């Protein structure tokens, strides 16, 4: 196999630790990883939207994947970070969405040989995740960022 064909079959991705789970996003989706900061609460937001955070003179929504998945979020947990993700829906209102990370996200290279979608348990269509995968010996969830962003658009 030549080098361009091999590169085309490789996905550079980011594993974001979120407590018991890990999220997997393409590397190009993550703009930057910043230190955690206390969000400013939003009154009418679902509980998984922790509020908004100011970064470079812009406010963006901060999402807890743990709470999105029905778990508890501890804002005092050690090594919290925020992974700033580009909007996949080209939202002008929320061009960035922050995902809370429990530690520093890790870069991974996924290939056809190292990435497989798991079939157990089957994902509920109402769940905010597109797939559960096994990549480089680690289970991860692929979040439905478009769905999450559509829900964020409804928040005042």
Per-residue pLDDT for 24 more than 90?
yes
Per-residue pLDDT for 48 more than 70?
yes
Mean per-residue pLDDT, 78-89: 92
Cα maximum dimension of the chain: 55
Distance between alpha carbon 37 and the CA centroid of its chain, in Å? Answer: 17
pLDDT in tens, 54-82: 999 999 999 999 998 888 999 999 999 99
φ, ψ at 42 (rounded to 5°): -115, 125
Q: What is the pTM of this model?
A: 0.86
Angle at 74 between CA 51 and CA 120, to 5 degrees: 95
| Predicted pLDDT at 22 | 94
**Domain 17-153 CATH (choose: 3.50.50.60, 2.40.50.180, 3.40.640.10, 3.20.20.140):** 2.40.50.180
Per-residue pLDDT for 92 more than 80?
no
Angle at 99 between CA 94 and CA 100, to 5 degrees: 140
| Predicted pLDDT at 130 | 86
Mean per-residue pLDDT, 118-123: 60
Mean per-residue pLDDT, 115-142: 77
Do 16 and 23 meet the contact criterion of CB atoms below 8 Å apart?
yes
pLDDT in tens, 6-18: 555 788 999 999 9
- The domain limits of the chain are 17-153
The pLDDT-based confidence of 37 (bands split at 50, 70, 90) is very high
């Amino acid at each position: 196999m030549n080098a361009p064909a091999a590169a085309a079959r490789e996905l550079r991705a980011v594993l974001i630790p979120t407590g018991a789970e890990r999220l997997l996003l393409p590397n190009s989706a993550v703009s930057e990883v910043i230190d955690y900061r206390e969000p400013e609460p939003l009154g009418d937001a679902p509980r998984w939207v922790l509020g908004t955070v100011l970064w470079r003179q812009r406010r963006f929504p901060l999402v807890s994947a743990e709470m999105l998945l029905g778990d508890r979020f501890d804002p005092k947990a050690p090594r919290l970070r925020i992974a700033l993700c580009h909007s996949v829906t080209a939202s002008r209102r929320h061009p960035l969405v922050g995902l809370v990370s429990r530690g520093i996200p890790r870069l991974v290279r996924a290939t056809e040989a190292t990435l497989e979608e798991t079939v157990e348990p089957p994902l509920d269509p109402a769940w905010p995740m597109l797939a559960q995968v096994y990549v480089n010996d680690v289970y991860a969830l692929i979040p439905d960022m478009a769905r999450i962003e559509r829900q964020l658009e409804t928040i005042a």
